[in-house]
Amino acid sequence: MITSMASSSPNLSSSFQTLKHKHTFPQPSPTTHHLFPKTLKPKLHTKLINSPNPIISSSPPTLTPQTHIQKDTKHPLLQQDHTPLNQIWQQIQGSNNWNNLLNPLNPHLRNEIIRNGEFSQACYDSFDFDPRSKYCGTCKYPGSHFFQKLGMSDYGYTISRYLYATSNINLPNFFQRSKLSNVWSQHANWMGYIAVSTDENEIKRLGRRNIVIAWRGTVTYLEWIHDLKDILHPAHFSDDPSIKIESGFFDLYTSKEHSCCYSTFSAREQILSEIKRIKEIYKDEEISVTITGHSLGAALALLSAYDIGEMKLNVRDDGEKIPVTVFSFSGPRVGNLKFKERCEELGIKVLRVVNVHDKVPKVPGIFANEKTKHQKYIEEKISFPWSYAHVGVELELDQNDSPFLKRTNDISCAHNLEALLHLVDGYGDRELGFCSVTNRDIALVNKSCDFLKEEYGVPAYWRQDENKGMVRGGDGRWILPERPRLDSHPPDTAYYLEQVLKFAANSTLKAL
């Protein structure tokens, strides 16, 4: 079983986690269901009561029931797929590029999209972005209590390691920094986690042991997108210099800071070494790698999936491939057309979930992208330097289809992850209308934005730590308590990274 990260040494060689977000509020009774054609203006029939999650400071308000809507069990969106997930998990992971699974949305696939979105949302809910805290830029919880603190203990996963990146790169609006001088780190930000399914019932349900890599996106307004220089940089993960990625993503993924124990290894080296280690532990089992992220985290998810494929970490000793799937939420374009083509050659499966009103998935690559005629000619023959292409299959959603959401031009609402998961929950088509298939609580939408219609009485930006983390000491004074020091890198990181590089080099020689 994978345990929490081991304590790190400052002398490490430089070479080398359905979130039902279960601050879950009780769901409507089995005799009711939110089923609303677009022409109706519904009132919510539910009652929100105290959250069982101890990190929520106060219970959301009680809502007055307005409309009682009977559940139409014959509605197409409510029909269940009685085939067990463990029999069709490869298709749900994209083995056939999700053909015939998106319209209508397969029930298993809908659940898996939401579940992976919740793994990604956990990165936001656990991240300290308060500049008045000396822990700004890190995770609030140690790995051993991560899922417990977030109400996700029943997900069946164990944190394998945390991921860090150096903040000493040219993306200042992405990284969070404390205003204090005595801080946990001057040079690093917590970027996400790697987790492994360890609960036997979950493994049986999934049909394999699953490795999840979840990347944090940006927690503030979208200034970070303006930091992108729209400059393509050779990936350097293969011998083909024509495979290029946006330079800001490249720097974030590959940079390190030797003077900081959290950034001694780059995010890339942390990913590669840990996947190698986990793969060896479970070498006799069927496993899969699922990578998820929102916003800039979605870009890192795709980049790390490509890297795993390029370094042949998804290849077993017998030559059999381990499925690598990306569930991407509101992600920008990452690389050029050659990058897209190489991801396809490597068998990387990508499902991109986007809101049509979101601007981030439209950049970079405004002038030349996958929708441009003759892009290949423009990129290769004319050597146009700003040519980008999305990778994978797109699931496009529209916030205006939901009867719960305001009509707004606020770009941060259109980009919000919880709002996107709300749209996945209710996704149908123009004839079927919006139907809350999984009964996902709409209050989650307003956790970190103001997007729900006022008639539902859910406060905007309602999620916060109890008393904002302040506790009362024995002398009656309120203080921000000290936190346990987070682990940085396991001591065997350098060893497994070296094994990755050797394996990749030998595979290349055999191919020649």
User: Both ends of the chain: CA-CA distance in Å?
Assistant: 38
How far apart CA 4 and CA 12 sit, in angstroms, is 18
Residue 442 counted as domain residue: yes
SS3 435: strand
Query: Which CATH number do you get for residue 47?
Result: 3.40.50.1820
Residue 9 counted as domain residue: no
Task: Specify the pLDDT at position 397.
Answer: 96
Task: Specify the pLDDT at position 512.
Answer: 62
How far apart CA 473 and CA 463 sit, in angstroms, is 24
b/e map 339-373, b = 16+ CB within 10 Å? bbbbbeebebbbbbbbbebbebbebbbeebbeebe
**Both tokens assigned to 306:** 């490509």
Residue 222 counted as domain residue: yes
Residue for token pair 């491939």: 321
Residue 3 counted as domain residue: no
Task: Specify the pLDDT at position 435.
Answer: 82
Parallel, antiparallel, or unpaired for β 35-36 and 478-479? unpaired
Kindly list the catalytic residues. 295, 358, 415
Task: Specify the pLDDT at position 4.
Answer: 40
How far apart CA 343 and CA 23 sit, in angstroms, is 37
Task: Specify the pLDDT at position 504.
Answer: 80
CA atoms in the 13 A half-sphere facing the CB of 288: 22
Task: Specify the pLDDT at position 65.
Answer: 32
How far apart CA 220 and CA 131 sit, in angstroms, is 12
Residue 168, domain extent? 35-511
How far apart CA 306 and CA 298 sit, in angstroms, is 12
Residue 20 counted as domain residue: no
The model's pTM: 0.85
CB atoms within 10 A of CB 285: 10
Count of the separate structural domains present in the chain: 1
Residue 351 counted as domain residue: yes
Strand partners, 335: 245, 389
Is the distance from CB of 307 to CB of 346 less than 8 angstroms? no
* Residues 37-80 pLDDT 10s: 333 333 332 322 233 333 333 333 333 333 223 344 455 555 66
Is the distance from CB of 94 to CB of 349 less than 8 angstroms? yes
Taking 50 as the pLDDT cut, the residues of the chain under it are 1-73
Q: Is 393 exposed, middle or buried (0-12, 13-18, 19+ CB in 10 A)?
A: middle
Residue 14 counted as domain residue: no
Question: Where do runs of H (alpha helix) occur along 24-179?
Answer: 85-92, 107-125, 146-149
For the CA atoms of 401, 405, 407, 412, the dihedral, rounded to the nearest 10 degrees, stands at -110
Q: Is 156 exposed, middle or buried (0-12, 13-18, 19+ CB in 10 A)?
A: buried
* Residues 380-405 pLDDT 10s: 888 898 999 999 999 999 999 999 99
Task: Specify the pLDDT at position 241.
Answer: 93
Residue 102 counted as domain residue: yes
